[in-house]
Structure 1
């Protein structure tokens, strides 16, 4: 690979030409925040998958995707005019322990689209923050991130987006020798809790204030003159981030999503889902499920995620404390998380149950159905979809068949049907997806891709982009997982 030179991209057809200007607000902040560097080229790149829908959302001509120019740029082998790539520095707490300086160890920012979305390559080579790593990503993990980013967007959950995956025969060592891949991903900003933690830990208050001001000016302008926080824009920022994070966690929990590695350096300042590594959508409902094989202590179990998010926010509060100036004020700015999260979660569950408005007794019914699912280890996604169809068709027997303890289900279902006003089936079908990215579906697509067949990735992308639709003929993708699915191990290297 060292013999390859980073060449300028060959001109594309004018009608499909990408933007000529790729600014970067991070670069404009100065050298303390990032390092300019070039991606490391990969030999013999090829397309694995790309998303015309994401291209359109980014203001890129979808026709550009599929061209050789796009392939080279999105692999890191070439740059477009105006691109000035860089890697950013941050720090963070990993598994509850301060890890010190981290940073973009295998991600390189190419710049921003005209709509202000950052475009970043993951797996594009070593950076000053690689900490001894090779800076690469493998095909397996890249496909998972590509598909889950778009699956989450299809579910309406805030997330980074995935424009493409490209592959290369270049070998990469993980547990075994695998082949290299690069994900081109996008977000309004990839700034994390850890970016602010980094400068607070170094006692670099000038850079800390500069970065916090940038976050407010670009993403939270209302914090400048917030009525609840007069003269306290940084407390207002902390509260705003807390509330976005609370809303995000409510969506994760309601859909049965496990992130797997909620370190502070993986937490978005914009309340986005970032860094798809050892994630999982629940099969059987187990509140204590641990999806990350590397998480030996169960820190990031599914039912612990909301409290971990608050713990991470407390770390963010400590980072912002020099700017807020008063510990009581910082703690007060976190307080709304404790009310926003449960209210948002209950609202999500009400929608899943088909209720537009809250009435007395709803909390008991919600807690009752979750206990029923947990005690009987009912398939989470299938239960909710069948319940939606049961309300639409007036036949609850297919739902009853999912629950071993039939008397307990009958008792709950009787109370559910007696609730007035009754359930809205259309709301339920819009709230309970038919398709999620189960581990075994991703694994099957990965196995195909490793044999140079990318049709499985494309099929999943089509289904996951519109997960609430029926998609006749693809029922197998919404069926129960096979027995071997429980043996899939997903770790931090995934």
Structure 2
């Protein structure tokens, strides 16, 4: 028997070899399945049984296949890490093993993360550990369940091979899936190393593969930047609306397709805090929750500078100046939906700002707040739902004042409370992938019990619909959850 994965030559191979290196995976000892994403396989037009019931596919997706055809490649890129330019980064532990094309013509790139060293590993071992791989596998799919653009995860394999981080851990490989893994950093590398002749080749590749409408523009490269800016504004607005903190928003972790990419020290807000930092390594708070829109804008500036050989500075600056408005428009649209509002009002920004100001310092759970807010009536003076007020720790005067304004807005819209609650619950998740839930699943997985991974995956596929079997995922986090420390180590 041989592998039955429908892999074709990587579309990226149309670019010169200065963009990538051919690599060989490093086999793992006695690999085993940790998780299989049957739902994604079906979305890709694949039969799950043909993918996951073949032992040779297990070997192939763990980097342990006897022969790889097409030959895997790792791409080179650079980036600004915590604001400091680093000339050469690249796929240090990731490799593209081929593309598949679904019946509808959609092309998917397949990438193994953790399958060994590449020329860009920079003295590292090219491995990923089970802990971080579980986090990436589950959050990729949780974000998709929330309707937020993201890379996906088709499979997770493990091995008892030792990997050395702060402590000895075991190895794992994630099969990552995306239309493209091109990042801002790919452009940065070609620009800052003086390979300007490669910039239009990379831009043309993106246009041909993913933004074909840009080809008809007067300047296709300006149109490409406009599209990437728009996608990126929509993405960060989506993150803010669900309380998602990426943790490491370096330019090399920014997708050219506006996808959430590279799940390291991420976290969803438990208690609302605009200054929340989810990455223990981020001592300066550069990537705090409230800073994400600003740092993404900064990253776009770094990206824009790489297009100067093809687009005038004045045009790029004009587009960059539009970003704050694009983000704010996307963000307010999402917040109106979360509040059940159906009309646009000039005071919406103030309404949203005052709401969050009333939550700051009160340790109010971000996710459950919006879920329970749907139960508030339109009528002035009616008691607030008990489980909503129970979320507050401390005085509620500011929130009580805000509720009066909110109710006035609902009455002005003649909002039907029952219909509004249905609208709000359709966009405000009951379940998010909290770090303590991940910690529980990881601890079980360390002992060979992968059932909680599968259970979390099923729940996060539809996070808006209450399901009794997941009742334990829809409660306030335990006290110990506040002590979870997540860093860049993986």
- Aligning the two structures, in what range does the TM-score lie when normalised by the shorter sequence? over 0.9
Task: Call closer, same or farther: CA 1:112–1:181 in 2, change over 3 Å.
Answer: same
**In 2, distance between residues paired with 1:396 and 1:94?**
45
Q: 1:351 offset after TM fit, Å?
A: 0.5
Aligned to 1:134: 125
Report how far residue 79 of structure 1 moved: 6.6
Please tell me whether residue 466 in structure 1 is matched to residue 459 in structure 2: no
User: What do the CA deviations read for 1:247-292 (whole angstroms, capped 9, x no partner)?
Assistant: 0000000100000000000000000000000000001001111110
| 1:266 aligns to 2:253 (yes or no) | yes
Q: Work out whether residues 157 and 251 of structure 1, in 8 Å CA contact, stay in contact via their aligned partners in 2.
A: yes
Report if the CA contact (8 A) 1:392-1:425 is conserved: no
Cα distance in structure 1, aligned partners of 2:222 and 2:126: 36
- Further displaced range: 156-165 or 82-91: 82-91
Alpha-carbon deviation of 1:316? 0.3
| Pick aligned residue for 1:342 from 319, 322, 328 | 328
Structure 1 360/29 Cα, relative in aligned 2: closer, same or farther at 3 Å?
Answer: closer
1:318 matched residue in structure 2: 305
CA deviations on 1:161-195 (whole Å, 9 max, x unpaired) are 00111100000000000000000010000000000
User: In the aligned structure 2, how far is the partner of 1:258 from the partner of 1:236?
Assistant: 29
Q: Tell whether the 8 Å contact from 1:22 to 1:84 is kept in structure 2 after alignment.
A: no
**Equivalents in 2 of 1:463, 1:124: separation in Å?**
29
Name 1:413's counterpart in structure 2.
403
What is the alpha-carbon distance in structure 1 between the residues aligned to residue 178 and residue 44 of structure 2?
Answer: 9
Mapped contact 1:158–1:273 kept (Cα < 8 A): yes
- Map of 1:4 onto structure 2: none
* Offset of residue 336 of structure 1: 2.4
Any runs of at least 4 consecutive aligned residues in structure 1 with deviations exceeding 3 A, and if so which? Answer: 79-82, 389-395
- Give distance in 2, aligned partners of 1:85 and 1:342: 41
Match of 2:111 among 115, 120, 125: 120
Which residue in 2 is equivalent to 1:5? Answer: none
What is the aligned length? 475
Q: Is structure 2 residue 359 aligned with structure 1 residue 368?
A: no
Q: Structure 1 residues 209 and 361 mapped into 2: Cα distance closer, same or farther (>3 Å)?
A: closer
Residue 250 of structure 1: SS of its match in structure 2? helix
Asked if the contact 2:359/2:399 (under 8 Å) is kept, the reply is no
Which moved further from structure 2: 167-176 or 30-39? 30-39
List aligned pairs for 1:73-472, cutoff 5 A.
73-78=60-65, 82-114=69-101, 115-226=106-217, 230=218, 232-324=219-311, 326-390=312-376, 396-403=385-392, 404-419=394-409, 420-421=412-413, 422=415, 424-472=420-468
Q: Is the 8 A contact 2:378 2:408 kept in 1?
A: no
Give the TM-score taking structure 2 as reference length: 0.94
**Are 2:93 and 2:126, in contact at CA under 8 Å, matched by a contact in 1?**
yes
Which shows bigger deviation, 277-286 or 235-244?
A: 235-244
Task: Supply the distance in 1 between the matched residues of 2:190 and 2:152 (Cα, whole angstroms).
Answer: 27
1:45 aligns with 2:35: no
Unaligned runs of 5+ in 1: 1-9
User: For 2:481, what is the secondary structure of its paired residue?
Assistant: helix
- Superposition deviation, residue 391 in structure 1: 5.5
Q: Distance in 2 between matches of 1:335 and 1:408?
A: 34
Distance in 1 between residues matched to 2:240 and 2:66, nearest whole Å: 40
